[in-house]
Structure 1
Amino acid sequence: MRTVGVEEEYLLVRPDGEVVGVAGAVLAEAAAATDEDDRSLAGHASERPAGRHGGPRVTEAHGPGDPAPDEPGGDLEAELKEQMIETGTRPCTDLAALRDEIGEGRERAAAAARRVGADVAALGTAPPPVVPTLSPGARYREINREFALTSREQLTCGCHVHVSIADADEGVAVLDRIGPWLPVLLAVSANSPFWNGQDSGYASFRSQVWNRWPTAGPVPRFGSAEQYRRVVDDLVATGAILDTGMIYFDARLSARYPTVEVRIADVCLQADDAALLAALVRGLVETAARSAAAGEPAPDVRVEQLRAATWRASRSGLGGDLVSPVTFRPVPAQEAVDQLVTHVRPALEDLGDLEAVTELLQGPWRRGTGATRQRAWFAEGGDVGDVVRRATALTTR
């Protein structure tokens, strides 16, 4: 069975809803807590839960373009900006276990933040105005210098889903087949309507900001792992990116793990929605791999169509029409989501995820996406700080 893991980025916030640049302090407190746990368990290795860290592992800071840690899960990590931290699960085969890991990661991040008087909020962008501050490190400085305003304004939180693959050839076959379905995932996860204190008019303004990076967004078919590597090498050779770590395709081969990494989604407001996203991504990967193994051709879709579908999902989320992944014509969002579920249904059944996905999908329709809820909260009081406070309360629920 394919494993699936989730990486999530969160904003660091004060109790009044202010977004604050305290990642360094949070990670220092987390490191101290880890050291204390390690000392308390010294000589009592049998007391440490199998396969788990005694506390949050703090890894070397990395942001856009930096290599990921060698071992996924159980850690807190810095990001490009001091107003953010990241956490990730370990690879899981069982969806319920993954949901637990997502919740535990959020609790770890929140606990570390609370030790310095802050908290975490699973929001794709910051509702209040904020001037992001750069995290320390030579690499961050290089990125900031080279990418100018794109880097200086880059304060966005995404959700990255990793699904295991047999090898790079299978991974590229998957990438060549899942592109039309990725905008639907963006719509389901949409959780960033505000930018600098204003309603952007988009359900996911994070995707608009993120797509300013040179390699971000949808890609055409590659056809083979060799061609994928050639494209990546050619992009680096342009000098427009620093290295292969800055390949920001909506879905890519992970540079460190044997996975396909789907990166299109906003961070989800609640852990249940992150688990739903992960299940749908794993279903897509499994479906695409089966299609390739059966010798079925990859869909012939132009990247311009994929970009338009992504924009549509970013603009309206689940609140309007989406571009159908089947016909590439406008359809109600419910129909596009139904098409996705129908497409991956055999894989979901075989993976044992269909019942859970059916149940979890009721959440976005019943209570709305993160974007819908943020707008409703703002309509009640006209206070973006209150939007942050309410989101913080739901992040670890």
Structure 2
Amino acid sequence: MNSDVLTFGVEEEFFVVDRTGHLSPVGGAVVDAADEDEGELQQELTRSQAESATGICTTRDEAERQLTILRTNLAEAAARRGRRLLPSGSAPLTETALPAITPNPRYERMSEHFGATARTSHTCGCHVHIAVPDRETGIRVIDRVRPFLPALLTVTANSAICDGYDTGYASWRYQQWNRWPSAGAPPRFGSLDHYESIVDAWLRAGAILDRAMVYWDVRLSEKQPTVEFRLGDVAATVGEAVLYGVLIRGLVGTILASEERPSKLSNEVLRAQIWRASREGLSGRCPHFRTGDLAPASDVLDDVVTFASGALAETGDLDFVRDGCARLAAEGGGADRQRARFEKRGVADDVVDLLAVRPARD
């Protein structure tokens, strides 16, 4: 493996639910009680959520090991309180009350300022950080990767069932999350100055309260020297989260090695393309990153892998990614499995049972 291989990290958000599958306001207690011998555990916006983050990873094996330990530690801490850890982009069951906001000054300010947007957009995503040498390089990555975002969303789409019914979307979380004024597809920036001018205008308009609220599907991280991909649902399994992470790393590596100019794809068209991907997921059709024409999503994903094959081969991930994408195409992604389980009895509780992370000592 090349000694200057891109490093990466993965963040995952989870719901904490009770034995019946309903949201439980003990996420903070679960985070506090969980073993933190790998990565980092954090509280989230609502009290019914928990977040994990790997350390800096060089290989997929490192990422898989850390993600497995982090999920297991959170699941065991939840189990000790009679709760379960749920990797789902949206909450499957109908809730009778809005989730409580975590008692943190920043989160409380967000809740007061954004009202129902903050109180009803409780979703769980998967965020992938890829190291870049500087912010200007990060802008080049964002501008080049935009056409690939629809296909990337299909990999982890895992929120078909929400509020007790089939939403008709593979990633309903993506639709929920886009209520935030700073969320959605990034425009083609062209320069770091353009990026910063938009962030500054948002701050002056009160559309964001701080720079951490820049919620574009791909953004420059404010804390690490990385580009952060934020569009994915939390993956149903660790394997799918790792697949998503190393595929993104392969794309970024390919982009950095290329002198190809960014696509002129408009933001209006890109938003519509990502909508289509969120609607149909891996089992439907997806706009192709080259032409914009609809094609079977699994075929588009295969073409993404081919595009990134050189970088994936360099890190030893090509066969892993090809096999993982073939398995998703054959067995269905998280949304397909949610929907298949729900259709058997029409009971969303079954989706919770399907997804809930089993503690190692279960």
Q: With structure 1 as the length reference, what TM-score do the two structures score?
A: 0.86
* Residue aligning to 2:8: 4
Are 2:39 and 1:24 aligned?
Answer: no
1:80 maps to 2:45: yes
Partner residue in 1 for 2:271 = 307
Contact 2:164 / 2:347 at 8 angstroms: preserved in 1? no
Question: Equivalent residues in 2 for 1:104-183 (5 A)?
Answer: 104-130=69-95, 131-183=98-150
Query: C-alpha offsets along residues 35-87 of structure 1, whole Å, 9 cap, x if unaligned?
Result: xxxxxxxxxxxxxxxxxxxx317xxxxxxxxxxxxxxx622111011111000
Q: 1:362 aligns with which of 326, 334, 345?
A: 326
1:261 match: secondary structure = strand
Secondary structure in 1 aligned to 2:20? coil
Of the candidates 52, 62, 67, which is equivalent to residue 97 of structure 1? Answer: 62
Contact 1:168 1:225 in 2 (8 A): yes
Aligned counterparts of 2:155 and 2:165: Cα–Cα separation in 1: 22
Select which of 325, 339, 346 maps to 1:375: 339
Rg larger for = 1
The answer to whether structure 1 residue 264 and structure 2 residue 231 are counterparts is yes
* Distance apart, 1:108 and its partner CA: 1.5
How far, CA to CA, are the matches of 1:11 and 1:240 in structure 2? Answer: 26
| Letter paired with 2:190 | G
Partner of 1:353: 317
Deviation string 1:329-375 (CA, Å, 9 cap, x unpaired) is 11111221122111111111112210111122233122211111111
Q: Per-residue CA shift, 1:298-352, capped at 9, x if unaligned? A: 1111001110111001100012111111101111112211221111111111122
Q: 1-side partners of 2:278 and 2:31: how far apart?
A: 32
* Aligned structure 1 segments of 4 or more residues deviating by more than 6 angstroms: 394-397
Q: Which 5+ residue runs of structure 1 have no aligned equivalent?
A: 31-54, 58-72
Equivalent residue, structure 2, for 1:195:
162
TM-score normalised according to structure 2 size: 0.94
Q: Say if 1:77 and 1:22 are closer, same or farther in 2 by CA, change over 3 A.
A: same
Query: 5+ residue gaps in structure 2?
Result: none
Kindly state the Cα deviation for residue 186 of structure 1 after the two structures are TM-superposed. 0.7
- Give aligned-pair identity as a percent: 41
Q: Give me the whole-angstrom Cα distance separating, in 1, the residues matched to 2:267 and 2:155.
A: 21
Structure 2: which amino acid aligns with 1:373? R
CA RMSD across the alignment: 1.6
Contact 1:122/1:395 (<8 A) preserved: no
Instruction: Give, in whole Å, the separation in 2 of the partners of 1:96 and 1:27.
Output: 24
Instruction: Tell me the equivalent position of 1:340.
Output: 304
Once the two structures are superposed, the pairs formed by residues 261-340 of structure 1 within 5 Å of their partners are 261-291=228-258, 294=259, 296-340=260-304
Q: How many equivalent residue pairs?
A: 355
Q: Does the Cα contact within 8 Å between 2:71 and 2:357 map onto a contact in 1?
A: no
Per mean C-alpha deviation after superposition, the further-off stretch among 204-213 and 385-394 is 385-394
